[in-house]
Chain A
């Protein structure tokens, strides 16, 4: 406003009083920006990446005088290229959320009361370390279970491994992507990974099974999806609900929930029977075709019709569309895949379909990851545990990932004290009460713990049960390990570096880990002093300039996404035992499971009940963002989608508040009913992540209803431990008291 100042002086002789009074209201001082900040030299741009969800889009933070004023997409980010979704743009509201955790807290009241006293970091870390030492002494290091999620706890994961516990589990496996990683790995030899390598922009046909891309927003995937559609790609949306994607689809298949495998088998039947498969591709790369063809011979569209409630003609029509568009067909593997307990088999079916269309490793299909050389530290080996893992990965759940673990397995182990007692949990960046179903069991398990430590940014409900709460700095205030994405057409590395100093007494994860390492005598596993040193080591073999990386935020490498790029490579592109795409899975046969996917009927909802299905909203990330001022204003609560005719028949009106009651008598909080044509009459739908019970989340508290609270029963996938969560049946109850 230098411009304004000189005019003001000029006018001061005419009417200083008036000028001063009239000038004040024209200066915008909302949201704490210093006046006159825009376009000045004082603004610095820091390149980092986002953690409002797990896509880690490139972000440029505009910073002036230590305040983050604005976040924008980083145009230099090879994947997101300057685009940023609603949550990413609202990241400053997390940074400046007055409700965030500020100081270390030590429990003073009973578990669940939420009574704490503030303590210093020194005291907190001393308590933490001495507790861990005592536990190791008394019960062995395996008695401590670790529940991490996200980038920040990676340093702490190293600590936990060095400490000697094999018990670590993230919900991203058994509550989310686990079934698809296992299913696709069994078929093609490696996991899909995240971001999943779907070549949407080059596709001629996109098949979404349950995926509601568009409400489920991942910046670069939306870009690719939209680009593919604008280039003329056709879209098949298989969803009991008329999602945003269904609104764009050429075919919306409102499938009966739980019958997706039947549909997939019928599609395979048509492709094989009508000779629409990519025969050359199958001959070159796959095995087990004969067995598959025999297996699906009877699974005709007519067979599938009464099961799926989809007309046979539509099933046939869509199969033919896939056949015509191959190999540029993306059968989207979905992300959250833990639905009915047979989810690994459903993922297998989707993988097989992908292979029949010849789209794995082909343009417009699923492309291949390109490995990126990463540096590492020469660390001493982690102590081996004699007692082994307690979560069942590799044993009770033979195909479960030992890297990501089975969270519900740890809950089971804590409750049963089998194979050995678990005495302590460290929850870091995970919301165990919201992400793991059957929270009544989680709460019982917590009651049995001697010690519960929570490291988090926001005061979510679980902190009320914790003995020790440590406030972590938000992603805008900290270094984290760099993100290396190999599942992109141009693989890349992107950094996370602080845009400003941590507020209050929050601390970054690397510091917490190093401090604990020091107290536990585990410094040998942290041979770096600063996160910059850590980063330098990671990027050492990449041949890139550290300064350039930090200035630009990300550096890309050449990618070889398609099979044709690897024609000259020695060996097979498929890491299966046979070196071929295993349509018929020997591994599954070995462990006594179906080597080819089979449709197993799901239990139907009892009379007067609906199946509860759930999903995502574009302005929220799971249960993390509901307290964010901007995002909360856009969507303060969720609503319950009910088929309009069903609602009317039951005597409910659009907009009315209702409660859901499940078969175990658990009632939800009140939720607004949305009577709509856009959903089948055998299910009801709500967005996950609402109904927060933590009073510390002042904006989110009590808004909407929690779907997780209703999930008192799950269907566990015996192969990998995934908790199928779409097996909750609810009835609608009138809400007599108004909110």
Chain B
């Protein structure tokens, strides 16, 4: 089985946003939203000793995706090849997954009212093409492939080239979008755009902390109570009230 991943070579990437626009065009992303973001860091340091880099962000198709956990309807799921996808037929746009994503990779499409995000262009990959961002990248800085294929670029870059995902000690959900670059650039990106703790919106917190235990207790108690009544009645024998 495949395990898809993406690698961006930050030494080559210039932050030209070709990927952002190609992706938006390919997937009808409404203006003002994006499946993939290109975010330059601030210029760090003191003149003239400066560092800056570019963070190319999208869904990381994590090994342990918090979004899949958070989705009440199972619309968000992870395929066997590791690609986290959204079944638009099931998604109701409750937004729990948007809050859960440590990389803020998801958005609610205001037209369809459903969640949208990068799906590694599975439709294109199925046709034998590269994801739209990889295909258009002017610097040839993006690579996509199967981590289980030892001859692939991504395998070499991840397992031999030291490519790293954006993780911190606090948040490490096993992202499968990796970056290659100078240490100071990777450090700057990690410091500028750290993944945040997955969280649920208030409604979700209300469920997990309060309502779910209450519901389980209530249903359990009712069931238990009814069972007691049933056994008591059995003991008493069937009341033939006709006497």
Q: Do chains A and B touch in the complex (CB under 8 A)?
A: yes
Q: Do A618 and B28 have beta carbons less than 8 Å apart? A: no
Task: Tell me the bound Cα distance from A246 to B48 in angstroms.
Answer: 11
Q: Do A229 and B137 have beta carbons less than 8 Å apart? A: no
Neighbouring B residues of A25 by C-beta, 8 Å = 112-114
Q: Which B-chain residue is minimally distant from A680 (CB atoms)?
A: B47
Most B-side CB within 10 Å, residue of A71, A83, A631, A643: A83
> Which residue from A39, A226, A619 sits with its C-beta under 8 Å from B140?
A226
Most A-side CB within 10 Å, residue of B13, B17, B137: B17
8 Å CB contacts to A: which residues of B110-129?
111-114, 123, 127
Q: Do B52 and A247 have beta carbons less than 8 Å apart? A: yes
Interface membership of A633, Cβ < 8 A: yes
Q: Do B137 and A248 have beta carbons less than 8 Å apart? A: no
Q: Do A72 and B14 have beta carbons less than 8 Å apart? A: no
Interface membership of B211, Cβ < 8 A: no
> Which residue from A89, A247, A630, A679 sits with its C-beta under 8 Å from B136?
A89
8 Å CB contacts to B: which residues of A200-240?
213-215, 217, 219, 222-223, 225-227, 229-230
Q: Do B139 and A71 have beta carbons less than 8 Å apart? A: no
Interface membership of B20, Cβ < 8 A: yes
Q: Which B-chain residue is minimally distant from A699 (CB atoms)?
A: B31
Neighbouring A residues of B13 by C-beta, 8 Å = 226
Q: Do B50 and A242 have beta carbons less than 8 Å apart? A: yes
Neighbouring A residues of B138 by C-beta, 8 Å = 83-85, 217, 219, 222-223, 226
Interface membership of A678, Cβ < 8 A: yes
Interface membership of A560, Cβ < 8 A: no
Tell me how far the C-beta of A35 lies from the nearest C-beta in chain B, rounded to whole angstroms. 11
> Which residue from A92, A229, A230 sits with its C-beta under 8 Å from B25?
A92
Asked if A86 meets B21 with Cβ closer than 8 Å, knowing A25-B112, A73-B135, A677-B47, the reply is yes
Asked if A85 meets B139 with Cβ closer than 8 Å, knowing A229-B11, A677-B45, A678-B50, the reply is no
Interface size on B, residues (CB 8 A): 49
Q: Do A84 and B136 have beta carbons less than 8 Å apart? A: yes
Q: Do A89 and B18 have beta carbons less than 8 Å apart? A: yes
Task: Tell me the bound Cα distance from A225 to B137 in angstroms.
Answer: 13
Asked if A678 meets B52 with Cβ closer than 8 Å, knowing A70-B25, A85-B138, the reply is yes
Contact with B along A77-118 (1 / 0, CB 8 A): 000001111111110100000000000000000000000000
Task: Tell me the bound Cα distance from A365 to B69 in angstroms.
Answer: 55
Q: Do A254 and B48 have beta carbons less than 8 Å apart? A: yes
Interface membership of B165, Cβ < 8 A: no
Task: Tell me the bound Cα distance from A633 to B38 in angstroms.
Answer: 13
Neighbouring A residues of B94 by C-beta, 8 Å = none
Task: Tell me the bound Cα distance from A254 to B45 in angstroms.
Answer: 15
8 Å CB contacts to A: which residues of B3-31?
9, 11-18, 20-22, 24-26, 28, 30-31
Q: Do B21 and A618 have beta carbons less than 8 Å apart? A: no
Q: Which A-chain residue is minimally distant from B14 (CB atoms)?
A: A214
8 pairs across A/B with beta carbons < 8 Å? A28-B111, A30-B111, A223-B138, A226-B140, A242-B48, A244-B14, A619-B16, A630-B24
4 smallest beta-carbon distances between A and B, as pairs:
A214-B14, A226-B139, A226-B12, A678-B43
Q: Interface on B for A, CB 8 Å cutoff?
A: 9, 11-18, 20-22, 24-26, 28, 30-32, 40, 42-48, 50-54, 88-89, 109, 111-114, 123, 127, 132, 135-141
Taking A26-B114, A222-B14, A225-B14 as known contacts, 17 extra A-B pairs with beta carbons closer than 8 A to each other, sorted by chain A number, are A26-B89, A28-B111, A84-B18, A85-B136, A86-B16, A86-B20, A86-B21, A222-B16, A223-B140, A226-B9, A226-B11, A242-B43, A244-B52, A247-B43, A254-B48, A676-B42, A677-B47
